[in-house]
Amino acid sequence: MKLSAPVYHLKRQARLLSREGKIPLHEALDRIAAQEGFASWSLLASKAGGITPAGRLFAQLTPGDLVLVGARPGHGKTLMSLELAVEAMKSGNRGVFFTLEYTQRDVLDCFRAIGADPARFNELFEFDNSDAISADYIVRALGSAPSGTLVVIDYLQLLDQKRENPDLMAQVRTLKAFADDRGLILVFISQIDRSYDPAKKPCPDIGDVRLPNPLDLSLFNKTCFLNEGEIRFQAAG
C-alpha cells in the first residue's frame, strides 16, 4: 500500500495532532495510520520498511564519535536520536538515554512512533532522567559500558544549568575524552536559536545552534540537522 507521504512527514502530522488535540502521541500515530489504511502505527511502520535516514546515518558512525542532532521544537530531533539508539541495539550494542526533559512514558511513546518494540530491546536499553545529570554523572553511570554503546544526551544546553556543574565547554571536553577512551558514540540533542529562519535556508546548520554559554562546536565531529522532514548530515573534515 502506497503511503500518502513519507513516514517522517506522517510522524510530524501525528506530533501536531497530539499537541493540538491534547492526546497521547501513540493515539495520534494510530489515527494517522488509520487514515493511511493500517490498523495501527506499528503495522504502518513495519510495512514501510527500507533503509531509514537514521539507518543511513548510523552506518556512518564509529566509536568515539560526538554527534550533534539539532532542530527547532517538534521537528524530530528526539525521534531521530532514539532511532539511532535503536539502530545500535539492532546491531547488538547498548543504547542509553539520559534526559532532563522526558519521562519514561514519553520515551515509550517515542519508541512506538519510530515503530520499535521496547520489549525487544529490554536488556539493551537504559533510561536515566536523574536531576543530577552532568558530564561527571554520565561518566560514572557509563563506567562499565562496552565499546559501541550509543548514548543520547537530552539535551546539550541543559548540562550546565546548575551552578555547581562545570561550564558547558569543560563538560563536553570531558565527555569527548571519555567517548574516545571507551569507544562510545555520544549523540547530543541540541536546541536551535530562534533567529533561524526557514524561509532563508531549508535546514538549520552549525551556525544556528543555540549557545547561551560558550562552546567550541568543533568538538562535535558529526552533525545532523532537521527541519520539516529535511535532514542534513555532515561529517567534519
DSSP for 54-94?
Answer: HHHHHTT--TT-EEEEE-STTSSHHHHHHHHHHHHHHTT--
Q: 159 and 78 in one domain?
A: yes
pLDDT tops 90 at residue 39: no
Q: Is residue 92 part of a domain?
A: yes
Q: 18 and 89 in one domain?
A: no
| Candidate from 24-28, 104-108, 125-129, 193-197 with smallest mean pLDDT | 24-28
Cα–Cα nearest to 73, from 154, 131, 128, 7? 154
User: Which residue type does 160 have?
Assistant: D
Q: Is residue 161 part of a domain?
A: yes
Q: 87 and 191 in one domain?
A: yes
Torsion of CA 205, 70, 53, 98, to 10 degrees: 150
Q: Is residue 184 part of a domain?
A: yes
12 falls in which pLDDT band (50, 70, 90)?
A: confident
Q: 101 and 87 in one domain?
A: yes
Q: 87 and 200 in one domain?
A: yes
Mean pLDDT of the 48-76 span? 89
DSSP 209: B
Q: 212 and 130 in one domain?
A: yes
Q: 169 and 60 in one domain?
A: yes
Q: Is residue 202 part of a domain?
A: yes
Q: What is the mean pLDDT of the chain?
A: 91
pTM: predicted TM-score of the whole model, two decimal places? 0.83
Rg (alpha carbons) of the chain, rounded to whole number: 17
Q: 180 and 90 in one domain?
A: yes
| Euclidean distance between CA atoms 180 and 74, whole angstroms | 31
3 state SS of 94:
coil
| Candidate from 61-70, 86-95, 113-122, 213-222 with smallest mean pLDDT | 113-122
114 falls in which pLDDT band (50, 70, 90)?
A: confident
Q: 231 and 130 in one domain?
A: yes
| Euclidean distance between CA atoms 230 and 212, whole angstroms | 26
Are 32 and 5 contacting, i.e. CB atoms less than 8 angstroms apart? Answer: no
Angle between helices 25-35 and 7-21 (to 10 degrees): 130
Residue 57 has which C-alpha cell? 546515518
- More confident: 28 or 94: 94
9 falls in which pLDDT band (50, 70, 90)?
A: confident
- More confident: 76 or 50: 76
pLDDT tops 80 at residue 148: yes
Q: 181 and 75 in one domain?
A: yes
Q: Is residue 1 part of a domain?
A: no
What's the total number of domains in the chain? 2
Instruction: Taking the CA atoms of 40, 41, 43 and 44 in sequence, report the sign of the dihedral they define.
Output: positive
| Candidate from 67-71, 117-121, 206-210, 213-217 with smallest mean pLDDT | 117-121
| Euclidean distance between CA atoms 211 and 205, whole angstroms | 13
165-205 pLDDT tens trace: 999 999 999 999 999 999 999 999 999 999 999 999 999 99
Q: Is residue 2 part of a domain?
A: no
Are 128 and 142 contacting, i.e. CB atoms less than 8 angstroms apart? Answer: no
In the numeric block, the cell 550494542 is attached to 93
Range of the domain at 27: 7-48
pLDDT tops 80 at residue 50: no
| Euclidean distance between CA atoms 121 and 93, whole angstroms | 10
Q: 44 and 60 in one domain?
A: no
Q: Is residue 21 part of a domain?
A: yes
Instruction: Taking the CA atoms of 183, 155, 27 and 2 in sequence, report the sign of the dihedral they define.
Output: negative
Mean pLDDT of the 76-103 span? 95
pLDDT tops 90 at residue 228: no
- More confident: 95 or 228: 95
6 falls in which pLDDT band (50, 70, 90)?
A: confident
Give me the CATH number covering residue 190.
3.40.50.300
